[in-house]
Amino acid sequence: MSNTSRTIAVVGTGVIGASWAAYYLSRGFTVVAADPAGGAEDRLRTWVEQFWPALETLGLEEGASRENLRFTASIADAVRDAEFVQENGPERLEIKRSMLAEIESTLAPTALVATSSSGLLISDVQEGMKHPERMVLGHPFNPPHLIPLVEVLGGRQTSAESVDRALAFYAEIGKKPIRINKEVPGHVANRLQVALWREAFHLVQTGVASVTDIDTAISYGPGLRWALLGPFLNLHASGGDGGITHVLEHIGPAQREWARTLGEYPETDDYIAVMAEGVEEELAGHDWDETLRQRDEVLLQLLAAKKAKQQLP
């Protein structure tokens, strides 16, 4: 059955919001998008056009059409008939709270509101809401129209029912939602990325390896395995018949020693120029737009392959 009778509101239509809008359209929903910025509608429609071929490759739901996109500069108008709101405003509490006040001015009390915030605590975001029980985190990974992960959790005033509904909704539309049980800045996946970046910056700054070689180490090493199984299951696979227990009993002491020598995140901005120079060297002779196009092409192939192998978690 088509979802076109169901309305999703997308509030904030920058790159993340536009990607979300395209994905919801591909799932057959009617999408009403709102952004007061000048030129926002033209940018949104251009991005949706650019994203659509990849979504066609992934497969469209019945009734899916770019014609089901409506745009308004008014947040209140956009959310009036929505059952679900995906908010994508700037990472500033005062702006998000102002947007939420506009959202709640017309939104049905039973509708869910999910923020794409990459690091703010939901308990802080939901302060002052009329219905804070329906506010959840719905943090995607960029670009949301391709990457399945969505991080979900509630704040102090969020109801358990709202978290369950959000998890079920994202799963229903083909996402891979995870439940975060406790609020921490940056949530889960971004914190894991920062842990890796911290050590990568340290290795470059101390001359252990170049930016290019560190990228190669990940993209042609553990990154290939991580795309198929997560860090825990890869450890389990490394342990043979003994699994994760065996491998941690044997290499755990060595890993503890390595962990004691890990670097700290740089305290000043001096490192930025070094990393940027390394990236420029790595990209020498490459067309960046073509690199990204090929990345997305391979990503689509990987997602199709994972979907075909039902035993992959």
Q: Tell me the C-alpha distance between 42 and 26, whole Å.
A: 19
Domain endpoint, select from 127, 156, 179: 179
| Residue closest to 129 by CA, chosen among 104, 112, 146, 108 | 104
* CA 272 from centre of chain: 24
Within 8 A by CB and 6+ apart from 36, the residues are 73, 74, 75
**For the domain that residue 29 is a member of, what is the CATH number?**
3.40.50.720
CA dihedral 195, 201, 207, 210 (to 10 degrees): 100
In a domain, 266, yes or no: yes
Element (H, E) at 69: strand 69-72
Q: Tell me the C-alpha distance between 103 and 129, whole Å.
A: 10
In a domain, 253, yes or no: yes
Check residue 310 and give its pLDDT.
83
Domain endpoint, select from 179, 201, 235: 179
Is residue 229 domain-shared with residue 299, that is, in the same domain?
A: yes
Strands 84-87, 69-72: pairing kind: unpaired
- State pTM to two decimals: 0.94
In a domain, 313, yes or no: no
Q: What is the SS3 string spanning 221-267?
A: CHHHHHCCCCHHHHHHHHCHHHHHHHHHHHHHHHHHHHHCCCCCCCC
In a domain, 1, yes or no: no
Cis peptide bond prior to 143, omega within 30° of 0 = yes
Is residue 66 domain-shared with residue 175, that is, in the same domain?
A: yes
Is residue 23 domain-shared with residue 140, that is, in the same domain?
A: yes
Q: What is the chain's pLDDT, residue by residue, as a tens digit (313 residues)?
A: 578 789 999 999 999 999 999 999 999 999 999 999 999 999 999 999 999 999 999 999 999 999 999 999 999 999 999 999 999 999 999 999 999 999 999 999 999 999 999 999 999 999 999 999 999 999 999 999 999 999 999 999 999 999 999 999 999 999 999 999 999 999 999 999 999 999 999 999 999 999 999 999 999 999 999 999 999 999 999 999 999 999 999 999 999 999 999 999 999 999 999 999 999 999 999 999 999 999 999 999 999 999 999 888 8
Domain endpoint, select from 137, 159, 179: 179
Is residue 203 domain-shared with residue 233, that is, in the same domain?
A: yes
Q: Tell me the C-alpha distance between 192 and 30, whole Å.
A: 35
Burial of 155 (0-12, 13-18, 19+ CB in 10 A): buried
Domain count, the chain: 2
Is residue 153 domain-shared with residue 194, that is, in the same domain?
A: no
Is residue 58 domain-shared with residue 92, that is, in the same domain?
A: yes
| Helix, strand, coil % in the chain, rounded to nearest 5 | 55, 10, 35
Check residue 1 and give its pLDDT.
58
Enclosing domain of residue 27: 7-179
Backbone angles phi, psi at 113, to 5 degrees: -125, 120
Q: Tell me the C-alpha distance between 213 and 204, whole Å.
A: 10
Q: Tell me the C-alpha distance between 296 and 114, whole Å.
A: 26
**For the domain that residue 218 is a member of, what is the CATH number?**
1.10.1040.10
